[in-house]
Structure 1
Amino acid sequence: MALTEEAHAARDGPAEKRTGSEQGEIFDLLSNHRRRYAIHYCKREDEPVTLGDLAEHVAAWELDKEVETITSAERKRVYTSLQQTHLPTLERAEMIEFDDRTIELTENAKNLEVYLDVVPGDSIPWGVYYLGLSALGLLVMAGVWLEIVPTETVPALGWATLVVLGVAVSAIVHVVSSRRMRLGKVERPP
């Protein structure tokens, strides 16, 4: 995968200027969990890491185990895969510098968050949530205009304030949640 131009664009320009094929290459790069886990671990450590430590943590996350309980066979399987496939792919994309034992993130890797909107399996995407919230707000406001919603107890401005407050609280929760779910920000990768 040749992302040299994309890597420069990620460093030098906003995401809106990328073509669909360039974004597709980034999504392809991030589609593999081992590559995402490698980036997550390197971001979390914020310094060069050894291939051995990276392999242990990736294996532990994959198997939902503690690092101390990983067997040498489990570690070796991940070590080999990282060394032969995933780290060279990340290096060709200029996301890491890899010298067969040490891995260090490049500046290009810092711009990957724009491509990751992590949504837990038991949740709905934020876009769908905001669409529903907008529909609810429009229903309330239509009810006020059509005088279906009582305005004696709560004035029309009060209903509008409640709708705007709902959107504002949702936006705050969204921002906090998104920042918490970034690669490298929590112990286990999202």
Structure 2
Amino acid sequence: MSSDHSKSHRFADASRQNELFDLLANRRRRCVIHALRTTEEAIDLGTVSELVAARENGGVVANVSHEERKSVYTSLQQHHLPKMDDWGVIQFDKERGIVAPTEAFTDARIHLEVLQGREFPWSLFYVGYGIVGVAIALALGVSAPLIAALPAPVWIGLYGVGLSLAAGYHYAKTSRLRFETIDRPPKT
């Protein structure tokens, strides 16, 4: 793995945007981001190679030939993953064959989602929803006039129902997107 991963969130700086666009310009690197996006955990190079090869060849892992997988594996191992590691988007342990997202991975993932126009950045929604919950709790704690008009259990219930509805919608939306994107490779 690269020894310097202090580059986290380096794409937040406007002068570094070109690096991010260079990263996202390559289809295989976009496929790697998509593969890691589904787990957001460290996965082995073989699994990443299968997922990328599947996206490039019709979307079904079972239909990927040994030659297709090997070609992707070699390309990722020798070129794309070391480059992504140098950029700080992933950590790539070449010796163990492990690929793991970094903090900067989230920046790249959100940019890719926005560029593809397919997915709302749900992580930001949940942060905002959490802030609203804290604000309601604080307002209840100080008996703010508008908030105190309803008892705390009602606010808790409303907040819980809202969160459940949002999470249900998010689950349905991402399940459908995963199904659609498995069947259809990302646009080049």
Q: Which of the five TM-score ranges fits, normalised by the shorter chain?
A: 0.5 to 0.7
Is the 8 Å Cα contact of residues 24 and 30 (structure 2) preserved in structure 1? Answer: yes
Partners of 2:25 and 2:79 in 1: CA distance: 14
Is the 8 Å Cα contact of residues 9 and 107 (structure 2) preserved in structure 1? Answer: no
The offset of 1:44, in angstroms, is 0.5
Is the 8 Å Cα contact of residues 33 and 109 (structure 2) preserved in structure 1? Answer: no
Partners of 1:54 and 1:93 in 2: CA distance: 18
Is the 8 Å Cα contact of residues 30 and 36 (structure 1) preserved in structure 2? Answer: yes
Partners of 1:113 and 1:39 in 2: CA distance: 6
Partners of 1:45 and 1:8 in 2: CA distance: 19
SS at match of 1:98: strand
State the Cα deviation string for residues 98-135 of structure 1 (Å, max 9, x = none). Answer: 11211000011111245332148xxxxxxxxxxxxxxx
When the two structures are superposed, what TM-score results if normalisation uses the length of structure 2? 0.56
Is the 8 Å Cα contact of residues 32 and 48 (structure 2) preserved in structure 1? Answer: yes
Residue of structure 2 equivalent to 1:110: 106
Q: Which amino acid is the alignment partner of residue 47 of structure 2? A: D
Partners of 1:108 and 1:37 in 2: CA distance: 17
When the two structures are superposed, what TM-score results if normalisation uses the length of structure 1? 0.55
| Structure 2 residues not aligned, in runs of 5+ | 119-168
Match of 1:58 among 52, 59, 71: 52
Partners of 2:36 and 2:109 in 1: CA distance: 14
| The structure with more helix, counted as a fraction of residues | 2
Identity %: 36
Residue of structure 2 equivalent to 1:41: 35
Is the 8 Å Cα contact of residues 27 and 115 (structure 1) preserved in structure 2? Answer: no
Name segments (4+ residues, structure 1) moved above 2 Å: 4-11, 113-116, 185-190
SS at match of 1:104: strand
Distance 1:9 1:96, change over 3 A: closer
Alignment length (residue pairs): 121
Whether 1:69 aligns to 2:63 is yes
Distance 1:47 1:5, change over 3 A: closer
SS at match of 1:109: helix
Is the 8 Å Cα contact of residues 50 and 102 (structure 1) preserved in structure 2? Answer: yes
Distance 1:42 1:65, change over 3 A: closer
| Structure 1 residues not aligned, in runs of 5+ | 121-175
SS at match of 2:99: strand
Larger radius of gyration: 1
Is the 8 Å Cα contact of residues 91 and 102 (structure 2) preserved in structure 1? Answer: yes
The offset of 1:65, in angstroms, is 4.0
RMSD of aligned Cα (Å): 2.9
Partners of 1:23 and 1:111 in 2: CA distance: 11
The offset of 1:25, in angstroms, is 1.0
